[in-house]
Amino acid sequence: MRLGVLDIGSNTGHLLVVDAHHGAAPLPAYSHKQPLRLAEHLDGDGAVSRSGIDALVDFVASALVVAEDKGCEEMLPFATSAVRDATNSDDLLAEVRERTGVDIAVLPGEGEARLTFLAVRRWFGWSSGRLAVFDIGGGSFEIAAGGDEAPDVAWSLPLGAARLARDHLAQDRSESTIRELRRWIRAEIARDAGNLLRHGAPDHAVATSKTFRSLARICGAAPSAEGPLVARVLRGEELSAWIPKLAAMSDAELGELPGVSPSRTHQILPGALVAVAAMDIFELAELEICPWAMREGVILDRIDAISWDGQDR
């Protein structure tokens, strides 16, 4: 069946059209996306601004047209931390529903972690053993681990790269500010680190999504043009050495780095701080990059819910 996965993230609205059926990997057929930066369209009360709401409505309306044009049988719309944490979340969703007819589901942070874990497990398979998965989004940082297709531990932290850039580095990137942010990030991760550590070291540690892919590319991983089957690894020692360089760069200089989108330059440094902190606290020398993430997890979960005769279970 052809599905449209409508992902309203903290940075980007993304409609991914895929052909999916039991026993096969979801095959991307078309991609339609637009920078929304909802995590940065917040007023002093933490509500998504009028301009942010209008941008979201416009994108959802355009995604509906694309999904119809591409022959999608079903659209799976969901939103993550930017909408989940907005103080006007209910009003925002109601306005989108009224103006477009699309009812967007809001995923809890643990749900994000679980769906991402499912995608990574399917990509790497059972040979990975006990798997640990890390995902830095725009608004939150998800961690999950386990030996099955569903993780036995999964949690979410307010350590998304866009959130940290907005709340901590927008006005001041001095050495003292970065050091204080580093300390706070590590304390936040370490608070619940025992959830994962009490089970021992994972057999395979994996990172996914845009921030980790960009960081790996900065550190020398293969470009996306070489395809998803090329192994890509992010090494903690290499990334640690990059942090003082990233802190000293202007946005223009950051935008010239391989794998860095111009709209995300301000998120690279806080993303690197989170990535290195996680690797240090969980004693991981490296993370393998997975090309599948939460969108693929949503697709796989939906296909799993359909029995082999095509009926919802």
**Per-residue pLDDT reduced to its tens digit, 92-143:** 999 999 999 999 999 999 999 999 999 999 999 999 999 999 999 999 999 9
- Is 90 exceeded by the pLDDT of residue 171? no
- Strands of the 204-208 sheet, one edge to the other: 153-157, 141-146, 131-136, 204-208, 286-290, 233-235
Across the chain, mean pLDDT equals 94
Residue 304 lies in a domain: no
pLDDT, average across residues 293-312: 83
Q: What is the CATH number of the domain that holds 74?
A: 3.30.420.40
Provide CB contacts within 8 A for 227, sequence distance 6+.
Answer: none
pLDDT, average across residues 52-57: 95
26 lies in the same domain as 52: yes
- Is 80 exceeded by the pLDDT of residue 307? no
Residue 308 lies in a domain: no
Domain count, the chain: 2
- As a whole number of Å, the CA-based R_g of the chain is 19
265 lies in the same domain as 210: yes
The token duo for 95 is 């306005």
pLDDT, average across residues 248-262: 95
**Nearest partner of 202 among 113, 134, 263, judged by Cα:** 134
Which of 52, 79, 106 represents a domain boundary (last residue)?
A: 106
Which of 56, 83, 106 represents a domain boundary (last residue)?
A: 106
For residue 262, give its domain range. Answer: 109-295
Does residue 70 sit in helix, strand or coil? coil
**pLDDT confidence tier of residue 43, bands split at 50, 70 and 90:** confident
Does residue 205 sit in helix, strand or coil? strand
240 lies in the same domain as 135: yes
Q: Residue 309's pLDDT is what?
A: 56
- Is 90 exceeded by the pLDDT of residue 285? yes
122 lies in the same domain as 238: yes
Q: What is the CATH number of the domain that holds 237?
A: 3.30.420.150
Residue 11 lies in a domain: yes
Task: Count CA within 13 A, CB hemisphere, residue 64.
Answer: 14
100 lies in the same domain as 129: no
Residue 313 lies in a domain: no
What are phi and psi for residue 132, nearest 5 degrees?
-120, 135
Predicted model pTM:
0.94
Residue 168 lies in a domain: yes
- Is 90 exceeded by the pLDDT of residue 50? yes
Listed in sequence order, the DSSP H helices in 145-264 are 161-164, 175-191, 194-197, 210-218, 236-248, 251-255
Strand-pair category, 27-35 with 141-146: unpaired
Query: Which DSSP state fits 253?
Result: H
- Is 90 exceeded by the pLDDT of residue 44? no
Q: Partners of 156 in the beta sheet?
A: 142
Q: Residue 308's pLDDT is what?
A: 55
Q: Residue 299's pLDDT is what?
A: 95
Q: Within its chain, how far is the Cα of 244 from the centroid?
A: 24
What are phi and psi for residue 30, nearest 5 degrees?
-165, 150
Q: Residue 310's pLDDT is what?
A: 60
81 lies in the same domain as 165: no
Q: Measure the CA–CA gap between 74 and 205, rounded to whole angstroms.
A: 33
Per-residue pLDDT tens for 194-252? Answer: 999 999 999 999 999 999 999 999 999 999 999 999 999 999 999 999 999 999 999 99
147 lies in the same domain as 63: no
pLDDT, average across residues 9-14: 91
